[in-house]
Amino acid sequence: MQLVPYLTFNGNCREAFTFYQQLFNGKILYLGTFGEMPDAPPMPEAARNAVMHVNLQIGAQQLMGSDAMPGAGEECAGGYVRPQGMNVSIGVESEAEGRRIFDALAEGGTVTMPFGKTFWSPGFGMLKDRFGTPWMVNVAEPA
């Protein structure tokens, strides 16, 4: 079994995943828009270029996402809702890598716990990036 975070955005999914691809040295395996769906239902013009689904491969892991369809009501998974009650947790091997990732995600975002040493890790921090995604960056304790 593999658990894969699926992030929802308010029209800036493509921008977010382009950034995540560069930051995590990943590869976008698929990116499709609502307008590219076969037999696409009627939709607001603003929805045609919104991301319907994106799959980012990062090593052996995946991160997926989409934009909420603009103008969608309850009959179509509702509209955009800011993430709450969860974080995407990243485990890295070194303090330098943790700092690099944390600082890049924090740029334009909001730090909720500054990156630093804790009783369980040489480096840990929490933030919401500029896209509204909550992250935790954790450095593995050296063996």
Encode pLDDT of 6-24 as tens digits.
Answer: 999 999 999 999 999 999 9
SS3 at position 130 = coil
Where are the chain's structural domains? 6-70, 88-139
Whether residue 143 has pLDDT greater than 90 = no
Please indicate whether the domains covering 6-70 and 88-139 agree at the CATH topology level. Answer: yes
CATH class of 6-70: alpha beta
**DSSP conformation letters of 47-87:** GTTSEEEEEEEETTEEEEEEEPPTT--GGGT-S-----S--
What pLDDT score does 89 carry? 96
Encode pLDDT of 69-116 as tens digits.
Answer: 766 555 455 577 788 889 999 999 999 999 999 999 999 999 999 999
d(CA 28, CA 70) in angstroms, rounded, equals: 23
Residue (of 121, 4, 142) closest to 61 by Cα position: 4
Tell me the CATH number of domain 88-139, given options 3.40.250.10, 3.90.226.10, 1.10.10.10, 3.30.720.110.
3.30.720.110
Encode pLDDT of 24-70 as tens digits.
Answer: 999 999 999 988 888 877 777 778 889 999 999 999 999 999 998 76
